[in-house]
Amino acid sequence: MELKYEFYIDAQPEDVWNTLVSPEGTRKTFFGSVIRSTFKAGDALEYVGPGNDGDETVHVYGTLLAYEPHQTLSFIEHPGPSYFPNHAELESRVTFTLETVGQCTKLTLVNDQWSANHPSYPNAQSHWWMILSNIKTFTETGRTLDFGW
């Protein structure tokens, strides 16, 4: 199973990258979460923000595979402990890739290597569209989309 999305964003790769990894960018585009990581390959990574366990809910955690500024962010992820009792057994790989195309940036997201019968797969199919649309809108305009949540 593989989910793949491509978005063209009217911004430079460094601006898109900042949206993907900075606390301000992720808070705005990943539903209030920030990334906690040393950003060194092999180290832990967590998306933490408001949720089931309060303001410090771990929504996703895992291991950083690649961190190449303005180019690639890749990690193995597990759903946070408050989502499923068997969260440690559930995983997938998330890879963001940025490349310059003319005067804009092509953002490619591949979410693959899913555990068999991963219960988050159906949600990921719809939520990635929302997150990526928010990344595009925020990077281009400084505003986010209102999904009515």
- How many CB atoms within 10 Å of residue 31? 19
Q: What is the pLDDT of residues 98-145, one digit of tens each?
A: 999 999 999 999 999 999 999 999 999 989 999 999 999 999 999 999
3-state helix, strand, coil in the chain (%, to 5): 25, 40, 30
**What is the reported pLDDT for 97?**
98
- Once rounded to an integer, what is the mean pLDDT over residues 81-108? 96
Domains of the chain and CATH, by start: 3-31+67-141 (3.30.530.20)
89: three-class secondary structure by DSSP: helix
To the nearest whole number, what is the mean pLDDT of the chain?
A: 95
Angle at 33 between CA 147 and CA 81, to 5 degrees: 105
Buried b (16+ CB within 10 A) or exposed e, 49-71: bebeeeeebbbbbbbbbebeebe
| CA–CA distance, 77 with 94 (Å, rounded to integer) | 7
Is the pLDDT reported for residue 149 higher than 80?
Answer: no
Is the pLDDT reported for residue 70 higher than 90?
Answer: yes
Q: Which residue has the higher pLDDT, 147 or 23?
A: 23
- Once rounded to an integer, what is the mean pLDDT over residues 65-74? 97
Q: Which residue has the higher pLDDT, 31 or 103?
A: 103
End-to-end CA distance of the chain: 28
